[in-house]
Structure 1
Amino acid sequence: MSRKIIHVDMDAFFASVEQVDNPSLKGKPVIVGGRTSKGVVCTCSYEARKYGVRSAMPGFIAAKKCPNGIFLPVRHSRYKEVSNQVFDILYSITDIVEPLSIDEAYLDVSDIDTPSIEIAQYIKNEVFKKTGLTISVGISHNKYLAKLASDWNKPDGIKIISEEMVPEILRPLSIKTVYGIGKKTIDKLNNIGVYTVNDLLNLPKDYFVELFSNQSWELYNRLLGIDNRPVQPNRETKSLGRETTLSSNTDDIDYLNHFLLLFSKDISYTLKKQNILSKTITIKIKTSDFSSHTKSKTIHHYTDSDDEIYSIACNLLKEINIHDNIRLIGLSVSNLSDKKIEQLTFLR
C-alpha cells in the first residue's frame, strides 16, 4: 500500500508571529534579528524577501538591501509558544509526527481513511483559526517529495505530488532544489552545462558516482523521486542541536558567536520544556573546503542554562584552530538526563 506523507512548514514563521502580534506590521518588510552591526537575520517577512533579504544574512547587508526594513528582536519563548499550538493540532490528527524544527514537521497519515487533501486543508484551517498564521503543506507518498511539494506554492500553499507525476515533474526542476547538493557542486555542474534534474540524470553514471561518491546511490534515487525513509516519531532523544549554513563564508568570531547565542537560548528552552538536563556541549563547524571539525566539553554537573551553554560554546569555538573561512556552524548538547532523576540523586 502506498504511504500518505504530509510535510508542513510555517510561512516566514518568526516574522509572521510578529505581524500577527502587531497588526500594524502586516504588509511591511519585517526582519527578525540582525539589529546590531554584528547581528544576523533569523528570518524575514515575504515583503522583505522581495528586496533580497534572507535568513542568516548579516544585518548590515539586510539594511542596505532593504533600507525601510523593520528590525525586531528575537522572541524565542513566544515563537515556541505558538509552535506548541501548531504541534497540538498535528498530534490531534496522528501520533506519527516527526518534528524537524520549531516550525516544520512530517506526518504519516497512511492509516487514516480521510483523503490526504482534506487532512491538509484541516491543518491549514485550524492553524489559521488558532494562531492567525498560514502554513504550507505538501502531500506525497514519501518524505522527499512531500517536502518538495510544500515548497512548491509558498506561502500559504498546498501541493500534491502523486506517484504518476514522478519522475517527469522533477526533470525540469533546478538542481538547486535537490537536497544534498552543495553550492560548490552546483557551480561545478553549472560550468559544464548542468542546470536541471534532467541534465543531472543524463550525466554518465561513472562521472555521477565520482562526483557524489558515497551518497551517489541515495542522491540518484532522490532524483527519481524514490525515498524509503519512514516518518520517525519516537526516536530516543540522545542529543539536542541546532545548526545553520551561513549565507557567506566567514571568520568573524563575533558573527559566529551570535549564532551560538541563538542556538543556546533555543536549546535551553527545549531542555526546560522537556524537563531534561545536559552535561556535554559540542560545537561543529564546516569550513569552505567542506571539512568538518567538532569540539566537545563534558562538565561536572548537569545544566539547562542558556548562559552556561553559550559560555562553554564560545570557549570551544576559540579552541578550534581553523585557518579557513567557516560555512556552517552548529551547537548540540548530549549526555542527557531526566531532571527529576538528577534531583532525586542529589537529595540522597
Structure 2
Amino acid sequence: MSIQAPISTAPTQPQQGWFAQILRHRGVQLTLVLWILGHGIIILLSNGALPFDRPAFAEIPFPLQILAPSVMMLEIFVLMGLGYMLTRNRPSIDLAARAPERSQAMRETLGLVAYAAFGQALGWVLGPMLGFQPLSFHLAGTLVGGHSGLSVAEVWVWAIYNFGFYAVVPYLWFRRRYSAVQLNLVSSNRRNDLLVIAVIAISESLFELTTLGTSLNRLSFGQLALGLPLSLFIYGIGTVLPTMILIYSILIPRFLKITGSAITTVLLGGLSYAIVHIAEGWTNFSTPTNALLSILFVLINYFGAGMIKTVLTLRTGNAWVHALGYHTIAPHVIIDTPHIVNIFGIR
C-alpha cells in the first residue's frame, strides 16, 4: 500500500491539498501537540541540565540538545521524500493483504506486544542479575558514548539475548503460519530496493558524519579491519535483525490491517520503535522526575527513526530495505565501531 496521502482533485493547488490532508489527520495533529508538549515538559523539569549518561553530548549546550531531535526529524522528512521519489514508479504494495483478517491481526498484535514487553522486563532484571547493564535494544554506550568498562561477555549476552528473544522466536512462530513474502522478507524489485538502500544509506551516513561526529577516523587500519565487520555482526544480530523481525516484518502489516491508514501505521511504527528503547543504558530512573524525562527523551529521539523505517517498508514491501539502508551502516557501524573496538581491546 502506498504511504502517500490522498491527493486533492483541485486543479489549482494539488500540492497544498496533499499537505492539508496530512495535517488534517488526527494522528498527525495529536503527534504535533504531544511533540511540543513533551519538549515543554523537558525544559520545565530539567532546569537546564539533562540527567542522562551521554558522554558524547556532555559538551553540547542544553538548548542544542533540546533542538537536536527536531533537526533530526527534519532530516528524516527529507529521507521520506527521497524514499517516495525513488519508488514512485513502482506498483503499490498492499501490505495489509499480507496480514490475516482484522480480528486475527489484532490478537496477533496484542500477543506480540505483550511478548515484547515481557522480554523488555526480563532483560531489565536479567542484566543486573548477571552483573551487566539492563538488556535493552541497544548495547549500553551505543550512540551516546561511555560504558567503556563493558566486558566482552556482556556484549555477547546482550546480542544473543536480543537475537533469540526478539528475532528467532517470533520469526519461527510466525513463519510456521505465513510465507516469507507475508513477513516482508522478499524483494519484489531487487534493483529498485538496492537503489533505495544505497541512496538512503549514503544520505544518512553523510548527515551523521557531518552533524553527530565519530571517532572512526582515529582508528588504525588494523582496528578498522577487525572492528568494522565485528561491529556489523554484533549490532546486526543484537538490534538490527530483532528490530526488523519484531516490528517491520510482523507488526507493520498488522497495524495497517487494523487501522486501514498508512499514515497511522507510520506513526505506530515510530512509536513502537521508540518504546522498545525505553530501557537504554543512558536513561535515568532514579527519581520520578528523571524517569519522566528519560521516557520523554527516548520517545522524541527514536520516534522519527521508527517512522522512516516504516515508510521504507511500506513503499518497498521489503523489511530488509530499512535494515540495510537506515540501521546497519548508519548509525551503528559509523558511530559505534569505536565502542566495539574499545570493548574488545582491538589494537
Q: Between Structure 1 and Structure 2, which shows a larger proportion of strand residues? A: 1
Structure with higher Rg: it is: 1
Per the TM superposition, whether the score is higher than 0.5 is: no
Identify which of structures 1 and 2 has the higher relative contact order when contacts are C-alpha pairs closer than 8 Å and 6+ apart.
2
TM-score bucket of the superposed structures, by smaller chain: under 0.3
Q: Between Structure 1 and Structure 2, which shows a larger proportion of helix residues? A: 2
TM (norm. structure 1) is 0.25
